[in-house]
Amino acid sequence: MQNLLQFLRTNFHFFLFLILQFISIFALVRFNTYHQSVFFSTASTVNGNILTTRKNVINYFLLKSENQKLKEENILLRTKSTENYIFISTDTAVAKDSNQVIQYSYIPAKVIYNNIRKEKNYFTMDRGTKHGVTKDMGVINPLGVAGIIVDVSENFSVAMSILNTNFILTPKINGKTHSGRVNWNGKTENIVQVNKVSDQYDIKVGQEVTTTEYGHYFPEHIKIGNILSVEKIEGEKYLAIDVELATDMSQLSEVYIIKNQFGKELKTLEKPYRDAN
């Protein structure tokens, strides 16, 4: 207590100055319209900046949960799409839509390693067998096709990138299947090629290239990209088609692994006939 009184006595003039200064400022603002306006305007600006900063900090720490919510909403929307269902015929009378079965479901994942600089590129994700992932599952991001899973461990999986010269996929062009195949020539990082499309078809720049149900990796109508150029190959009956990818493979981060509920059954059934060829 003695120390406090001594401190106040020592700094009496300083505290008196602060009190008088506060009274002067209060009187200036209280009884002068202009100064009052400036004060409240400045106070509002400062308060607004503080609240904005506070909100930004809170939002930053909530990003993870918000991203998870968005993933779950995207999965729900994708699952409701008709391309994810298969219709099982039956001779028995059934209730409406009871023969509609989900064929494709989605597992959210994060890319933890990605390479686009080689001719045979792969990327790694933080999902494995304990999350329901197996080989030969397709991988997409919200914009389009990304790759196909080729190896899986308990907690991780590796996918062959669409930017891999071994990657092959049957496409639809402008909603029609032309028996061509998507394949990368190992050159430009955002452009793939569609080969073996007959020159009898009217293929134009800008048309959309999407997936088919062939191969059982993807549902129909998942975007691959848009046609960038079309040329007739001299001396052949095919077109040289370049496609600009919908997915920016250099920025691959949040992805969805596609699980075909009937994939294993279909591959087992088809295997003897594929091997025969």
Which domains can be identified in the chain, with CATH numbers? 2-61 (no CATH), 100-276 (2.40.10.340)
> Please, what is the average pLDDT of the chain?
79
Q: Provide the token pair at 45.
A: 């600006």
Q: How confident is the model at residue 2 (pLDDT cuts 50, 70, 90)?
A: low
User: How high is the pLDDT of residue 66?
Assistant: 54
Amino acid identity of residue 80, one-letter, is: K
Give the residue with greater pLDDT, 103 vs 138. Answer: 138
Select from 114, 207, 119, 132 the least CA-distant residue to 163.
119
Query: How far is Cα 141 from Cα 222, in angstroms, rounded to an integer?
Result: 10
Q: Is the pLDDT of residue 203 over 60?
A: yes
**Mean pLDDT, residues 31-57:** 57
For residue 52, give every residue at least 6 positions away whose Cβ sits within 8 Å of its Cβ, in sequence order, or none.
none
Q: Where are the alpha helices (DSSP H) in the chain?
A: 2-10, 12-31, 33-80, 263-276
Mapping DSSP to helix (H, G, I), strand (E, B) and coil, where does residue 230 land? strand
The order of strands in the sheet holding 176-177 is 176-177, 171-173, 208-211, 223-232, 238-245, 191-198, 181-183
User: How high is the pLDDT of residue 7?
Assistant: 65
Q: How confident is the model at residue 98 (pLDDT cuts 50, 70, 90)?
A: very low
Sign of CA dihedral 175, 176, 177, 178: negative
**Helix pair 12-31, 33-80: axis angle to 10 deg:** 80
User: How high is the pLDDT of residue 89?
Assistant: 43
Query: How far is Cα 105 from Cα 253, in angstroms, rounded to an integer?
Result: 19
**Mean pLDDT, residues 44-66:** 56
Q: Which pTM does this prediction carry?
A: 0.67
Phi (first) and psi of residue 94, to 5 degrees = -130, 160
**Mean pLDDT, residues 30-34:** 63
Mapping DSSP to helix (H, G, I), strand (E, B) and coil, where does residue 226 land? strand
User: How high is the pLDDT of residue 56?
Assistant: 62
Residues 12-23 pLDDT 10s: 667 677 777 777
Q: Provide the token pair at 187.
A: 């050159």
Query: How far is Cα 133 from Cα 1, in angstroms, rounded to an integer?
Result: 71
CB neighbours of residue 94 within 10 Å: 10
Residues 124-164 pLDDT 10s: 999 999 999 999 999 999 889 999 999 999 999 999 999 99
Q: How confident is the model at residue 5 (pLDDT cuts 50, 70, 90)?
A: low
Residues 221-247 pLDDT 10s: 899 999 999 999 888 899 999 999 999
Percent of the chain at pLDDT > 70 equals 66
